[in-house]
Amino acid sequence: MEVIIVPDPAAGGELIADAMADLLRRKPDALLGVATGSTPLPVYEALAAKVRTRDADASRARICQLDEYVGLPCGHPESYRSVVLREVVEPLGLDEEAFMGPDGAAEDVAAACLAYDRALAEAGGVDLQLLGIGTDGHIGFNEPCSSLASRTRIKTLTEQTRRDNARFFDDLDEVPHHVITQGIGTILDARHLVLLATGEAKADAVAQAVEGPLCALVPASALQLHPHATVVVDEAAASRL
């Protein structure tokens, strides 16, 4: 695992956008796995800026989603599908055909999970998966105690994660209890994992993921198993390393 400490979130965004631009030079139709939350926004802003200045060509890029809330009505502004379309797909000038994600509004959620896991493999696998980290060490929505071999499936959110994510909703009661998430095994199938963490609130989770034991209690520690994992942290998130 490579750990890179950057001075601030903008520098982390620039560094990861550079890695994505390089990948797209080598493989123009690369499948980029993206994460939601506040942390990766500087990456998407930096990559979109590179596309505008023609320092990156994302015209054939494909984008896939890491996780999704279950039960939000189709088109809800905080469904991760809406967020990824708004924050990533549209700013890169891509249309919806370039995007794939799990169907959180499916009647048969278990079948939707299986279908998404299969679709990722049939698309040739994820070339670069960007990850954030929850304050409890989760990746995607794989909460503590998730199997390190898990595949895409339905999960129940912890109260801590619901509270952390309540800022995107009007009220805590509106935050769904259930989600679909790529499993840890699914995430580990990506060719390159890049985790970005910024801010003091992530310092403990980062220290446990990077320097703690490999352990289902800290799902992000699964990156220790991956042959090509990069952890990019600002100085605040690196403060307990």
| Position 166, amino acid | A
Token pair, residue 187, equals: 């995430």
> Which residue, 137, 129, 148, 98, is CA-closest to 194?
129
Q: Does 38 bind ligand GLP (CB under 6 A)?
A: yes
Which strand (E) or helix (H) includes residue 181?
A: strand 178-181
Catalytic one of 14, 67, 103, 127: 67
Token pair, residue 164, equals: 């952390």
Catalytic one of 87, 103, 127, 136: 136
| # of chain residues touching ligand GLP (CB under 6 A) | 14
Concerning whether 108 is annotated as a catalytic residue, the answer is no
Instruction: Among 42, 104, 132, 219, indicate the residue that binds ligand GLP (CB under 6 A).
Output: 132
Q: Does 183 bind ligand GLP (CB under 6 A)?
A: no
Concerning whether 8 is annotated as a catalytic residue, the answer is no
Q: Does 161 bind ligand GLP (CB under 6 A)?
A: yes
Q: Does 140 bind ligand GLP (CB under 6 A)?
A: yes
Concerning whether 57 is annotated as a catalytic residue, the answer is no
* Strands (E) located in 158-202: 178-181, 192-197
Q: 64 and 101 in contact (C-beta within 8 Å)?
A: yes
How far is residue 11's CA from residue 235's CA, in Å, rounded to a whole number?
11
Active site residues: 67, 136, 138, 143
> Where on the chain is the footprint of ligand GLP (CB under 6 A)?
35-39, 66-67, 132-134, 140-141, 161, 165
